[in-house]
Amino acid sequence: MTSTVQTPTTRAATPPAAKPSRLRRTVRTSEFTLVMLAVIGFVALTLTTDGNMLSAGTLAAFFRFLAVPMIIGLAQMVVLAIGQMNLSVGVLTGFCAMVAAWAMLEAGLPAPLAVLAAMLLGAAVGLGNGLLVVFTRINAFIVTLATMTIIDGLRYGVNGPGTYQDYSAGLAELGQASLLGLPVVFLIACAVAATVWFFFARTVPGRHLLASGGSPFAARLSGVSNDRSIVLAHALSGLLAGVAAVLTLAQSGSVNATIGDDLLLPSFAAPIIGGVALAGGVVSVLGTSLAAFIVRLVDVAQAQFAINRRWVDLIVGAVVLGVVLSGAIRTKLSRRSS
């Protein structure tokens, strides 16, 4: 489930005929490392908590709160694919959630329409980001820094410091519902991830987007519109932030103007641990999702062992740094040997 443009990291890469076996290639991908890490972490956590991890309640909570980090990681990944960043993902999620809650409570919109409105709003703001980047030619980092500040103010403007709750019984039910033992919100997140994967792997706009990210110059020479890729990527990122807002609405039961504040740094951590290059041209839906899974494991471990909340940040920081360094060392070694 990856669209990584695979770089030959193998030692025996010189003659093309002597390709390593399929198994060995699979073993060497960063996704495989992440899968192993996730499995080992999960098993270790299960053993050390005397199987508490596998009890229905803990397991359901584990996956329920995995949904939003996954989607937020993907929202950032889409923009990283073209070598840009979107600093506004976190606050945009909060803004969409607040607006949807407002629409249900104060404007009396039915829940399905409000959900749709949240996603459309996310996509529209993302589209605005993209258009600003294309028309002003200002660095996306700066543009989204500015829009992040603006949306932060708007998010607060919806209801001031107040909290919205009891907006929709149907949404709350959806947030708590399970299917085959897995929370529905998590299944939705998986479906969204699969769609994003399909978009990058199999559709023309998705491949164009990756081409623009990999080499804008080459993409232009091949007739790909880089501007269109930029606008599309930002709009998609906004749309995913809107989806994350809907999931937040469903699972949390109440929203206020601080929603999304703690999402910005994790949104970068997941794709980076997952092997997405900041330079663009490479995405890994599976890697990003697995990274969110691993970060969630650290979270649960903290709760299970009643460790200081702050160790989580320390460990996540160390993991990001470790993954990045090991990746750099690996490419250095493979370059030396070839």
Partner 1 sequence: MKQEDTTTPEQPRPPARLPLWANPRIGLVVLLIALIALFTTLRPAFLNTQLTLVPMQADISVYAVVGLSQLAVLSLGHMNMAVGRMAAMSAFASGLLHDRLDAPLIVALAGGLAMGALLGALAGIIISRTGVNSFVVTLALDFALIGLVSLLYATFTDGVAFNGLPAGMSALRTDTFADYCAGDVCGPEIPLLAPIALVAVLVVGLLFRWSRVGREVLMTGSNAKAAELSGIPVGWRVVQAHALSGLLAGLAGFLLSANNGSFSAGVGDGFLLPSFLAPVLGGTLLVGGAVSVLGTVLGTAITQVIYKGLNLLQFQVDELKLYIGLVLLAALSLDRLRHVLAERRGVPA
> Considering the rule CB under 8 A, would residue 303 count as an interface residue with partner 1?
no
331 token code pair = 């490419």
One-letter amino acid for residue 126 of the chain: G
Give the count of alpha carbons within 13 A of 321, CB side only.
6
Examine residue 272 and tell whether it contacts partner 1 (CB under 8 A). yes
**Closest C-alpha among 3, 250, 229 to residue 119:** 250
Structure token digits, residue 107: 């404007």
| DSSP code, position 93 | H
Is position 149 an interface residue for partner 1 (rule: CB under 8 A)? Answer: yes
Tell me, residue by residue from 313 to 332, as one string, x for binding to partner 1 by CB under 8 A and - for no binding.
xxxxxx-xx--xx-xxx--x
Residue 23 structure tokens: 């198994």
User: Binding pattern to partner 1, positions 276-295, x when CB under 8 A?
Assistant: --xx----------------
Task: Out of 111, 132, 133, 233, point to the residue binding partner 1 (CB under 8 A).
Answer: 132
Specify burial of residue 21 (Cβ count, 10 A radius: 0-12, 13-18, 19+): exposed
Q: Considering beta carbons, is residue 98 or 192 the nearer one to partner 1?
A: 98
User: How many amino acids of this chain bind partner 1 (CB under 8 A)?
Assistant: 48
Binding of partner 1 by 336 (CB under 8 A): no
When asked if residue 335 is in the footprint of partner 1 (CB under 8 A), the reply is: no
Of 141, 166, 254, 338, which lies in the binding site for partner 1, with binding defined by CB under 8 A?
A: 141
Contact call for residue 147 and partner 1 (CB under 8 A):
yes
- Regarding 203 and contact with partner 1 (CB under 8 A), the answer is no
* Tokens matching residue 236: 């998609």
Site membership for partner 1, residue 311 (CB under 8 A): yes
Subset of 84-103 contacting partner 1 (CB under 8 A): 85
Q: Which residues pair with 165 in a beta bridge?
A: 254
CA-CA distance, 88 to 132, in Å (whole number)?
A: 13
Q: In the bound complex, what is the minimum distance in angstroms from residue 107's beta carbon to partner 1?
A: 21
Q: How far is the CB of 146 from partner 1 (least distance, A)?
A: 4
Token pair 């070598």 is at which residue?
A: 83
**Concatenated DSSP letters of 169-200:** HHHHHHHH-EETTEEHHHHHHHHHHHHHHHHH
Binding status of residue 138 toward partner 1 by CB under 8 A:
yes
